[in-house]
Structure 1
Amino acid sequence: MQLIGLSVSNFRSLADVQDIPIRRQTILAGHNDCGKTATLDALAFLLGERDIQESDISRFAIGAAERSALPALGDEEPPRTVTVEGRFELSTGEAKLLNTSSPVRIRRRFVEGQGARLEWESLVPQCLELRDVQGLKVSELRDLASSLGLNLRPGQTNVRASWVEVLKEHAALSPHVTDWAAAPPVVKDALPQLLYFKGDSAESPEAVVRSILTAKLREYTLDETTRQKITGLEDDFSKQLQEDADQLRKLVLARCAFDEFTLEPQIQFKPSVISVALAASASGQQTVPLSAAGAGRSRRVTLALWEASQQLLSEATEDSAGGGVIIVYDEPDTHLDYDHQRRIMEMIKASASGAQSTVVVATHSLNLIDGVDIQDIVHLNSRNGRAYIQSLTSNDTDADTRRFLSNMATSLGFRNSVLLHERCFIAVEGATEYAALPALFKLAFGYPIQSAGIALWSCGGNDGALNFAKFLKEHHRTVKFMVDADSLKDKQKEFNIDRLKKQGFAEDDCLFIGDPHELEDVFGNDQWADTMNALWPRDDELQWKPEDVKALRTEGKFSKKLHTLARDHSSDAPRSKEEMVVALTRRLQGPSDIPASLIGVFETAMKIASDAGQRYWPEDD
């Protein structure tokens, strides 16, 4: 199973946080006490790796019915409830095993006074009473069967198992709906393994080894042969305990005067590594237990163990039904220098590359934040103590991306420029390029232009903007210009090469767009005709044809002639030629729609950005 979304209600500060996006690698960023660790602990609860404590129940669940969908506590009020829900993509093997389609929703609910229960959304009987007959008492089973007009078949003994069988057969033939129901054991077994590393575990390599080996041990129990052996042991011990359970049941009946009292023990073996002894020695030194070694050695060992775990836990294949693994790091950069933080980032990327591996990291580290795609960052913030999230989706605009980065930087207390991923500043001529190029880049590569380390800004032909570019260059920042190809020879251009040279820039500082002149040239005749028919239909109701566009690609400015053609024949034509490219951009569907020449310019910009960034500034410079 691949976790793709997480929703939490009434867990600490996570009073009502819906659909936290979880990708192969996800960075949870935010200020202290904003809900990062709470999110990781909520995930641990969902996967059955921790219980709910009194302190976990959100205070917003008390006296805040309009916020938490729960009434205030009182003698007659319903109990408080904590719910953590995950959306999971299924492999082919898992979908077949669970007999359902992907994605699947699974949740664990804790109800105060009743405990926790794992549920999944599936096709269940419309009749509520038929959804969990396995959990009913014998008397309840008889009453339910009687209300439905059901009787035991000839030859069936009057025992609990017989009534369950009759009711299940009836449920299978009754109307069904999609709703939440108790998750069967096969769903629980298919959940991913959780490997939870905390920053303070750097002082305890033993804890790290136990977590890794326990995860691997439970992975082995999913083998069909091993699972059958464990199930057989559970059944054997259940039968052996039944006599003891019957004795307890009779004692309770005798002392409490109940009409009926049922006691049925359920046995489950959950293997784990309970302890591990670690020892180490340096060259020429005596071997000593790691617990007696210095903190520095423990941290180095822990980091090495984290790195080793990615190989040990990444053997699952895409189609396997083994559930996969979710590796969680809570402040892994604690007590580590920048070099080790970079090693952790490399380790995280390697771990996330596994067929069924997911990595979730809570951190303040700029090294970790800066090392991932912006779309992999989830920014947690809080308002009046209640957590909420901000993240980017594939549909967000460039403005949304810039707003997200600015808000995250402000929340973390950094200057915007620290967190903008900018390794290279690229100036464009005006509003058209500034609006169109980020959208074209994202469509071509699948992530925002900021993720490539490129900060784009519009100069608008303004001398002040050119002076700012000169200032950045003088302060050892990489600055380039993305301009139309005819800027080299067209003296009327606002960004002609002579004007740039006056500010200390050269032709090598320019990335040229257009074939042969400007941005509008690079798009095909079919693309322009499609856009014109959709947005600027002819008043004479004829169709624009690619040949109409092709005829304009002669001497002179193609964009100007195209705009004139549209204005002459369509009442809906754009007011200015600058609007045309933006309109066409919004109609493109995928990477194949982006012209190859533009892809080449973007790739050059990415190469420049990857080699750029702040450099050493000599004192005598």
Structure 2
Amino acid sequence: MHLSSFAVSGFRSLTDIADIPVSKPTILAGHNDGGKSAVLDALAFLVGARKLEHDDRTYVQPDTTNTSSFGQRCVTTAVSGTFTLDVWEQMTFDLPAQIKLRRVAGEDLVARLELFGPLADDERLRDLSAYLVPALKDLVAELGLKPASQRRADLEAALRTYAVEHSSTEGWHSAPAGLDKRIPRLLPFDGKRARPDDAVKTALTGRFQAHMADPELTGRLHELEDDVKDRLRIDAKSLCDHIHTRCPDLEEVFVEPEISFGQGVSIGTVASFPYCRGSDGAGTCRFGTQPSRFAGHLGVDQRAAG
């Protein structure tokens, strides 16, 4: 998902600003207190990197005939953006290539992510995020729909499809579940103070999580994990047999590798023996637990006799 432009209303000094472009690069220039920081903070609010605070709400133009209107702030603060979706996002959320999203909050400062599109004639279908799963199931049953499963995502998908087919106007409504996780990340970087490599690492962490959420990539990784796990099982058996040969007092040596390219490698190990005696007649063998790391990423719980 890529952001091409955004608009701000009711955010500090930005009463109503439209069509702020986002390109490579976009340069903000202006005098002190000209609203440059407000634009960046509004962008952070849009992408979910900042919570709205009371002081962020714009002061309304006072009514000179009504003294009580002085010092009042706007009722609603909203930042909307025009986004371009990739093919996977279009298929997953059943959306067009270009959409409009906005993050909006009222006087309670509770932010909501909304999508602009066909507005369901049935008002109950305009904010599906307000329902728990049992209530969604009741709506699906009442409308005679047949979702792919009883999971929340599939229930919402069926209701959204019905809402689009039964709508006579367009407007803002709740965004599909999971769409917020696809919104671009904001990485503030001040070249005078911050370390650029930290910003890059943060960006890569976010991209890694996004890639790992891709079903096609995840399926391929599972196949690789199974292949590596089978190979490690063979390696583990060979090593366990060798240890058992060298330490015959051990009753059992067993290792079961568990592989996850998303979380690293964990290996469960069992080694037990009733008694072990050294060549000098003293009980010199030790039984303990020591965490180790192999190949920079293999977490091992190692129990060994020495």
TM-score range, shorter chain: 0.5 to 0.7
Q: Is 1:113 paired with 2:101?
A: no
Mark the CA change 1:225 to 1:33 in structure 2 (over 3 Å): closer, same or farther.
closer
Aligned AA for 2:6? L
Q: Which residue of 2 aligns with 1:130?
A: 125
Q: CA deviation at 1:55?
A: 1.8
Q: Is 1:203 paired with 2:203?
A: no
Q: Which residue of 1 aligns with 2:95?
A: 100
* In 1, Cα distance between equivalents of 2:56 and 2:99: 26
* In 1, Cα distance between equivalents of 2:25 and 2:73: 39
Q: Which residue of 1 aligns with 2:180?
A: 188
Q: CA deviation at 1:42?
A: 0.7
Identity of aligned residues (%): 32
Mark the CA change 1:33 to 1:78 in structure 2 (over 3 Å): closer, same or farther.
closer
Q: Which residue of 2 aligns with 1:174?
A: 166
* In 2, Cα distance between equivalents of 1:226 and 1:22: 26
Conserved in 1, the CA contact under 8 Å of 2:7 and 2:80?
Answer: yes
Conserved in 1, the CA contact under 8 Å of 2:53 and 2:109?
Answer: no
1:165-194 Cα deviation digits (max 9, x unpaired) = 8x9386476335432121123421221121
Structure 2 segments unaligned to the other structure (5+ residues): 146-151, 219-306
Q: CA deviation at 1:28?
A: 1.1
Name whichever structure is richer in helix by fraction.
Answer: 1
Conserved in 2, the CA contact under 8 Å of 1:125 and 1:174?
Answer: yes
Aligned AA for 1:7? A
1:374-412 Cα deviation digits (max 9, x unpaired) = xxxxxxxxxxxxxxxxxxxxxxxxxxxxxxxxxxxxxxx
User: Paired residues, what number?
Assistant: 205
Q: Which residue of 2 aligns with 1:43?
A: 43
Q: Which residue of 2 aligns with 1:220?
A: 208
Conserved in 1, the CA contact under 8 Å of 2:13 and 2:58?
Answer: yes
Q: CA deviation at 1:211?
A: 3.4
Aligned AA for 2:75? R
Equivalent position SS for 1:213: helix
Aligned AA for 1:189? K
Matches within 5 A, 1:194-273: 194-198=186-190, 202-205=192-195, 208-224=196-212
Q: Which residue of 2 aligns with 1:11?
A: 11
Aligned AA for 1:63? P
* In 1, Cα distance between equivalents of 2:75 and 2:70: 8
* In 2, Cα distance between equivalents of 1:16 and 1:32: 20
Aligned AA for 1:119? E
Normalization by structure 2: what TM-score?
Answer: 0.54
* In 1, Cα distance between equivalents of 2:79 and 2:73: 19
* In 2, Cα distance between equivalents of 1:73 and 1:171: 42
Mark the CA change 1:204 to 1:4 in structure 2 (over 3 Å): closer, same or farther.
closer
Aligned AA for 1:203? R
* In 2, Cα distance between equivalents of 1:180 and 1:92: 23
Mark the CA change 1:173 to 1:98 in structure 2 (over 3 Å): closer, same or farther.
closer
Aligned AA for 2:205? L
Name whichever structure is richer in strand by fraction.
Answer: 2
* In 2, Cα distance between equivalents of 1:73 and 1:22: 35
Q: CA deviation at 1:196?
A: 1.0
Give the CA RMSD over aligned residues.
4.1
Q: CA deviation at 1:203?
A: 3.2
Q: Which residue of 1 aligns with 2:148?
A: none
Mark the CA change 1:30 to 1:187 in structure 2 (over 3 Å): closer, same or farther.
same
* In 1, Cα distance between equivalents of 2:90 and 2:208: 20
Matches within 5 A, 1:155-554: 168=159, 171=163, 174-175=166-167, 177-198=169-190, 202-205=192-195, 208-224=196-212
Q: Which moved more, 1:131-140 or 1:95-104?
A: 131-140
Equivalent position SS for 1:189: helix
* In 2, Cα distance between equivalents of 1:15 and 1:194: 23
Q: Which residue of 1 aligns with 2:299?
A: none
Structure 1 segments unaligned to the other structure (5+ residues): 65-70, 154-160, 230-621
Structure with greater contact order relative to length (CA < 8 Å, sep ≥ 6)? 1
